[in-house]
Amino acid sequence: MLTQQKYASDLVAMVSLIDDKIVYSPIEINMKYKEADGEPFSDPTLYRWLVGSLVYLTMTRPDILYAVQVLSQFVSNPYHIHHTALLCVIRYVRGSMNQGVLFRSDSPINLKGYIDADWTGCPDSRRSVND
């Protein structure tokens, strides 16, 4: 079993969320984030650092991969709504620290990849976004 439980725990501690709120989904379903939505986030460097930390965590946590991919699109110009969604992913990680990737010794490793495109899925550019 490959996990990054210590890394995830350190990430949650660094963010120091003051509430004990845990979410059961890393991102809101059917939420379309725009490039400019509301107030700009005051610390873009922190946003980039958090996204980068979550990208590293996706090596053993494929369950957060889609949410991190969506939020990484806004590292050049994050807004408060993007930061709030990022904190939602971290709350999800806090509630599921024990998850990881299991490689069983008695089963063959068959790696399969899938991709889906939502045509004109980006609300800003109306271009395709690959998932």
Q: What is the pLDDT of residues 63-87, one digit of tens each?
A: 999 999 999 999 999 999 999 999 9
* pTM given for the model: 0.81
Work out the average pLDDT over 117-128. Answer: 66
With helix as H, strand as E and coil as C, how does the chain read? CECCHHHHHHHHHHHCCCCCCCCCCCCCCCCCCCCCCCCECCCHHHHHHHHHHHHHHCCCCHHHHHHHHHHHCCCCCCEHHHHHHHHHHHHHHHHCCCCCECCCCCCCCCCCCCCCEECCCCCCCCCCEEC
